[in-house]
Amino acid sequence: MVAKELKIGMLFPFRKEHALLTEFCDNFPVKIVNTPYMESNELRSSRGLNNGMNTGTHMEPIIEDSHIAEWSDCNVVVGMDLPSNPSQLFPNLAWFQGVSAGYDHIDSQALSMMGALQTSARGIASPAIAEFVFARLLQIWKKLRVLDLQQSENEWRAHFGSQAFGKTVGIIGLGSIGREVAIRAKAFGMTVLAVRKSSATGGEDVDVDRLFSVNDLDEMINVCDVVVVAAPANEDTRDMFDEKRFEIMKNGSIFCNIARGMHVVEKDLISALESGHLAAAILDVTRNEPLPSNSPLWSSPNMYLSPHCSVSFDTYEENAVELLVKNAKLFLQSLPLVNVINPTE
């Protein structure tokens, strides 16, 4: 079916006008209605743990009547979040374009039952996230936290770190983010191992020294100086890293998760840090966000926490707009879209 006209409900509030989007609307049969809808971090985190559904623990934003009226004939929605009961709010929806790489907080099954396509923004922030991973790794290896503390205390005492060159990194999930991590690891002279769902152990990839199957994950992490989790959030990856898996990791290695908090049994990670088995942990995501102030993660030894901010916003909106326009043009021509989500995966 060729869409004669697109009415796009813009739930994600762009911070400024974008010439590319304006030009697209001027030259194609497209109408955009700005109807902001953004959920709290608490609700988004809860949805992520419950297949995109709101269990009722957190309230949803109040939706203005004018927004509901506009949504009634939108065939496209662009958003970070998707309200509950989308079939009632968007009865004519044909395509939902997310503005984040992750989509565990979106009710993909509801969209599928509506017959609506779902696409993610996979790739638009991958270089920035990979840079963040190495910023943290270098902070640990070069003892920058110690040196910064000494500077604040006017203390002149040398601390010599270790180098990235020659170390081994294991990447779980060789998607867009995982691949950008691999490229940078290669530039540092590291040995790069990776688990990819579609690969057999021993497979080849231009950015990886050796691929492993999912079944051989333990074999890989046992020889890695760093393990980086960049896997999608699904039932296969829920609680992937527990006490047993942390014990398999190489003594003195670093654990890094820039994917989703649901991958990690946090109490087991804390135990691995307290015992000294792991040298450090880098978490940009936690199971519940915002992280409660009384969480033991805050005070765990050698913990490097950040509040889900490994992306960089200097080009994020531009990249999101570029992807939206590209997909919208494809949609108008009934051609396959970029980053289509299969709800059964």
Strand partners, 303: 281
pTM of the predicted model, to two decimals? 0.94
Strand partners, 226: 169, 254
Which two structure tokens, joined as six digits, stand for 23?
A: 């030009």
Crossing angle of the two packed helices 19-27 and 316-332, in degrees rounded to 10: 20
Going along the chain from its start, the domains and CATH numbers come out as: 6-124+313-332 (3.40.50.720), 126-305 (3.40.50.720)
- Would you write out the chain's pLDDT as a tens digit for each of its 345 residues? 445 799 999 999 999 999 999 999 999 999 999 999 999 999 999 999 999 999 998 999 999 999 999 999 999 999 999 999 999 999 999 999 999 999 999 999 999 999 999 999 999 999 999 999 999 999 999 999 999 999 999 999 999 999 999 999 999 999 999 999 999 999 999 999 999 988 888 888 999 999 999 999 999 999 999 999 999 999 999 999 999 999 999 999 999 999 999 999 999 999 999 999 999 999 999 999 999 999 999 999 999 999 999 999 999 999 999 999 999 999 999 999 999 998 766
Grouping H, G, I as helix, E, B as strand and the rest as coil, residue 54 is coil
Helix H segments across 120-175?
Answer: 126-141, 144-152
Grouping H, G, I as helix, E, B as strand and the rest as coil, residue 208 is strand
